[in-house]
Amino acid sequence: MVFSVTEFLKSPTVDEFESLKKDDLIGLGLHLKLDVKSSMRKQEIRNIVAKELLAKEIFSSYDFPVEPVSSETKMSKYEFELEKMKIQLQFEKEEKERQFQIEKEEKERQFEKEEKERHLQFEREKEEREKQERMHEKELQFELEKLKLEKSAKENPVPSPLKSEFDAAKNIRLVPKFQEKSVDKYFPHFEKIAANLKWPRDFWPTLLQSVLIGKAAEVYSALSIAESSDYDKVKDTILRAYQLVPEAYSQKFRKYKKFENQTYVEFAREKEDLFDQWFRSKKIPNSFDNLRQIILIEEFKECVHQDLRTHLEDKNVKTLEEAAVLSDTYALTHKKNFVSKTQSSDSAKTSDFPKKNLQESQSSISSQSPSQGGSTSGPRSERSEASPGLVAGLNPHFFGQHLWKRSLRKRFSFPRMKVCRFFVEPSCRDLETDGISFRCLKFTYGVETTPPFNKTVHPIDKKVEYEGKELCANVFHKYVQAGTIVKVGDSFKQRFYPIRREQRMVKSKLYSSLQPNTQFTTDSDCKLIGEIVIELPKFDDRNRALDLELFFGDTELKIEVHEVETGNKVQSHFEFLE
């Protein structure tokens, strides 16, 4: 039967009220505008509704007592919360125990892994020791067998045709690869290997020719059968082909200079090695007297004419006395045509000169004959002091100049006016320099720059990083090439920019090189002439360009650096005769 609130309130009874269900009580409470919810317990709803019925005097307190919320109910809430906390604590405890167990198992696995690795390492070391012991045992056994065979060979000598059991084909793979760039170091390396492996010396040429390439292979193929079987002959021929004769070693030793990125210890070691190579190439006993003779002969050759120097080098003189005797003989033999030979042989070295310039120079001198110019007689002071200039290859030393000029004065009259003269940069202090009009450059001149790195052009060992930029260090920036004819006063100018826009100072280094196409300032033939420093104005978005200009004087090179924006100028002078 459906409960009706209105019907109940018309004739309410205690029995009917007690028999109401929870939903009926909720409906009655809502009708009475009470705050009842379905989430409440039935007893709580009953008490709220009963209080309202008592307040409205629908029921009396005698009809039924209102049951208060029992303490058991309140306690049940606390017990519930307590139980909940216990469960949570239990869960956290179990979680910690589980995490601890996982960490413990992980540590055990790590320990087992490390223990296993230690065991494997121990096993490997053990195997390695056993292997070394076996190899040592085999070596001892081999040495023992070798001694037995040697003893047996001494007691029972084998006939000579049976002695050669060396198999060259099996040993070819042990021959070191031939290096054309370091031929002088290759032969000592080859000889050490041959000696250590006890290769018969008769087989050395055969083994060597198997790795020869390039020029070495060509000169070997040009040897006769007898010469190609002589190792010393083959070695000397190859070294000569690469110009690694005593004179070449001497030049390498004397001209070797310290690189910018090289320590002094490395430089000293390399210098010492070059000297040892030079001394070994002489093939003379190592003694103070021999060293003394080498130094004396070198100094003697520095003081004589180039033709005589070449003659002494061809004769391979061993003592200073021998060099002096040969020099006197050579001087007597070539006395009559000394001047003409000097001019003809040395003029051959000036093939780089334009013919027009040579003809102009020759005509300007020869045209002043006695019939056209002044007389050859009279006091020396009245004669013109003009003298013929130096052409490439002529001896720059005082004695050579004097002898050459004296021989020419017998045939030519020099006018008071200065004549056009050639000049090739010598290393001499006593050269007359006035009247030089133009010259042929002996060196290539350039400055050191640091352009952006280009992996297709620049070697990787030259790459440097600066403020996030990849640059190439020690680049030789060519201004003018060797062999160029320049007039006195000619200049060459190029424009550069600092690496950083805010840079306040620029240092420019000037280099010279005997090679026409030097790439880097660290190359062995590249020499630092000097450096010049220019200060830049404070950076405020102006043009930071620098014009670097080379001026060629008679015997002087002047370098000027202009700061384009402000016009500031710094210059420096370099004297070639110093």
CA distances for 284 relative to 188, 287, 294, 382, angstroms: 17, 9, 10, 57
Average pLDDT, stretch 240-244? 68
The pLDDT tens digits for 405-445 are 555 444 444 443 333 444 444 444 444 445 456 677 888 98
The pLDDT tens digits for 551-563 are 876 666 777 877 7
Q: Which residue has the higher pLDDT, 403 or 132?
A: 132
| Residue 100 DSSP class | H
- Check whether 87 has a pLDDT greater than 80: yes
DSSP labels, 517-541: T--BTTSTTEEEEEEEEEEPPPPSS
The pLDDT value given to residue 100: 92
The pLDDT value given to residue 354: 40
Residues 6+ apart with CB under 8 A from 457: none
Burial class (CB in 10 A: 0-12, 13-18, 19+), 559: buried
Q: Model's pTM, two decimal places? A: 0.30
Which amino acid is residue 458, in one-letter code?
Answer: H
The pLDDT tens digits for 365-411 are 333 333 333 333 343 333 333 444 444 344 444 445 555 455 544 44
The answer for 567, left when phi > 0, alpha when psi is -120 to 50, beta otherwise, is left
For the chain, the helix, strand and coil percentages under 3-state DSSP, each to the nearest 5: 50, 15, 35
Q: Name the range with the highest mean pLDDT among 174-178, 278-282, 314-318, 564-568.
A: 174-178
Q: What is the token pair recorded at 361?
A: 């120079």
Q: CA 263 to CA 527: how far, in whole Å?
A: 17
Average pLDDT, stretch 8-13? 84
The pLDDT value given to residue 503: 72
The pLDDT tens digits for 303-323 are 988 888 888 888 878 888 989
The pLDDT value given to residue 489: 76
The pLDDT tens digits for 112-124 are 999 999 999 999 9
The pLDDT tens digits for 227-238 are 888 999 898 888
- Check whether 346 has a pLDDT greater than 60: no
Q: Could you give the residue range(s) of every CATH 2.60.34.10 domain in the chain?
A: 441-575
Place of tokens 């400055």: 447
Q: Considering just the CA atoms, what is the radius of gyration of the chain in Å?
A: 53
- Check whether 577 has a pLDDT greater than 50: no
Average pLDDT, stretch 261-280? 84
Instruction: Kindly report the CATH number that applies to the domain delimited by 441-575.
Output: 2.60.34.10
The pLDDT tens digits for 514-551 are 888 888 999 888 989 888 777 776 655 555 677 888 78
Q: What is the token pair recorded at 120?
A: 């494997």
